[in-house]
A and B are shown apart, each in its own frame.
Chain A
């Protein structure tokens, strides 16, 4: 069973990296409209958290939205088609790169309003509690979102009502181009949990096992009815805030980026751990080939898919439609 989890985790991590690489190539080729934010470098945090969840558990996320649904097990084709604005996209071309949402795997929205997904997941946890299911909700957010009011409001309400929610901070050290050290009165994000009477833990976000273990504990606690946990996964963003964004000024040292890419790459680290534990090179190679094939197929599917008919812009505004003037 453990081997199954590790193989699946490795597959999802390489799928995220390969997906982000493919998107970056498409951007460079001028085939993507709008902004894309790559999750490359944060795969262990994302997948370590997702693997601790059941298929019907909920996740919400951020503008850096590609990794979360992939980490939860989403099919790649509709995600890639969405990024290219196609009719076959998971959001039918209405969301795009910042909003990859796939309810089929419990993904309930990726918000481009920083912190926006936090109360939404907290509300999904309230919903699970009221409906009496054993589902939990996990919300991904960055270090920047910790300074939004809804972070504090949501932690407080989750605490008083013992909601089955996991607050999962992917602390990559930078909110866009501003270092967290300049904006956080308490730079240890997990310590903020104390203010709301809930457990807070900081883990190495480049280490799949560490993230998986911490999240599993938090999930068990939530499912038991003992309430929320704040997890801070210290991770790193390999790309700029936004793919292709040219930032003048040295807001993060080149040596730091290089160090993370060469010594702290979560996929390299997890691969080495798996090899050390006896997983065959061939098996890992098969997983990598499988991921590559899925990504190639997704790109092909996305490119070949049609764009939406512009008239479709008038559809799906309401569940119970009202007249909309052209």
Chain B
């Protein structure tokens, strides 16, 4: 039912609300992951039948594979990997099964699964808890990938992922969990997968923001505005499929482009975006494409070592200035 009311809530609460709404809406939706019972006890899933809430053993590959079988036979599983690095343990069922079972069987199945992965970077968790693995999965045909960066987008995209009939990976920046804003209570509010959003309009330079880099991009845009530089910030929101039109349209307005991505430089999301621009937008460029990304080193533990590796408002602003 359409509800025009909003409520101020965190990014994490928005994700929880999206899940609870979808579990209530569709009895074929189930959730599976480690420590799920703790959240269930806290009322995170309302009064949903316990059969649909599976607190799993530490067996990521096994329960992700089970989710594939469940999805092929009529359920709509949400798989919560807790920490994004754990998704590697389940890469076989995600890549070899979920992404291609439909194709390999000539369309005999649909595989409606949502894989949630929370990226715990920027918080001194060292290299095995800090990855931003989305680019690796961008190279897998059959998947869809969303990277919401605001509470509203988190709600709308997670709901879209759960309702989608294909496997969708939802990557959340864990340091966004506490971010608050007014979020719609409309239970049918979904954000279409594959649509970027212009979070700030501008005319001199385009910043393409990937995932949680958005906050830094908007801060950089504020600072640059004070110097008279008008920045357009395009929040991609979906990485597979990429909204090529949104990228090229903005580039058409500005002629200058900075891509900001938390992933490592080599083969990152920014690399694919730069390739699209080189192929389809070369004539629109007034200056070469710039990337602000994480260098190709494992994430170190010590905070003074970790922090400077990621894109920051300062490094983004510097990249923009270099194009002027």
Question: Which residues of A approach B to under 8 Å, CB–CB?
Answer: 58, 60, 89-95, 99, 101-103, 108-109, 111, 113, 116, 118-131, 137, 149-150, 153-154, 156-157, 160-161, 315-320, 322-324
CB-based contact A318/B101 at 8 Å: no
In B159-188, which residues have CB < 8 Å from any A CB?
164-166
Q: How far is the CA of A245 from the CA of B72 in the complex (A)?
A: 34
For A113, give the chain B residue with the smallest CB separation: B96
**Interfacial chain A residues near B74, Cβ < 8 Å:** 127, 131
Selected A-B contacts with CB under 8 Å, 9 pairs: A108-B109, A116-B97, A122-B66, A131-B28, A154-B62, A157-B63, A317-B102, A317-B103, A319-B166
Q: Judging by beta carbons under 8 Å apart, are A108 and B69 in contact?
A: yes
Q: B97–A92 contact, CB under 8 A? A: no
Given contacts A91-B104, A91-B108, A121-B69, 19 further A-B contacts (CB under 8 A): A99-B104, A102-B108, A108-B72, A109-B97, A116-B92, A119-B65, A119-B93, A123-B73, A124-B70, A124-B73, A126-B69, A127-B69, A127-B75, A130-B51, A130-B70, A157-B59, A317-B102, A319-B110, A320-B164
Given contacts A157-B59, A320-B164, contact A129 B105 (CB under 8 A): no
CB within 8 Å: A-B pair count: 159
Choose one: B70, B96, B241; the contact of A116 (CB below 8 Å). B96
Q: Which residues of B contact A (CB under 8 A)?
A: 28, 30, 51-52, 54, 56-57, 59, 61-75, 77, 92-93, 96-97, 101-112, 141-142, 144, 164-166, 193-194, 240-241
Point out the residue from B61, B101, B142 that lies within 8 Å of A119, measured CB to CB.
B61
A93 touches B106 (CB 8 A): yes
Minimum distance in angstroms from B277 CB to a CB of chain A: 14
The CA-CA distance from A182 to B76 in the complex, in Å, is: 41
Nearest CB to that of B65 among chain A residues?
A: A119
Return the 4 tightest CB-CB contacts between A and B, nearest first: A123-B69, A119-B65, A153-B62, A92-B106
Are A149 and B61 in contact, CB atoms less than 8 angstroms apart? yes
A125 CB contacts on chain B under 8 angstroms: 69
Q: Which A residues lie within 8 Å of B52 (CB)?
A: 130
Residue of B nearest to A87 (CB): B106
Q: Are A317 and B141 in contact, with the CB atoms below 8 A?
A: yes
A156 contacts which chain B residues (CB < 8 A)?
A: 57, 59, 62
Q: Across the interface, which residues of B come within 8 angstroms of A131, CB to CB? A: 28, 74-75
Given contacts A94-B105, A123-B68, contact A161 B75 (CB under 8 A): no
Q: How far is the CB of A66 from chain B (nearest CB, A)?
A: 15
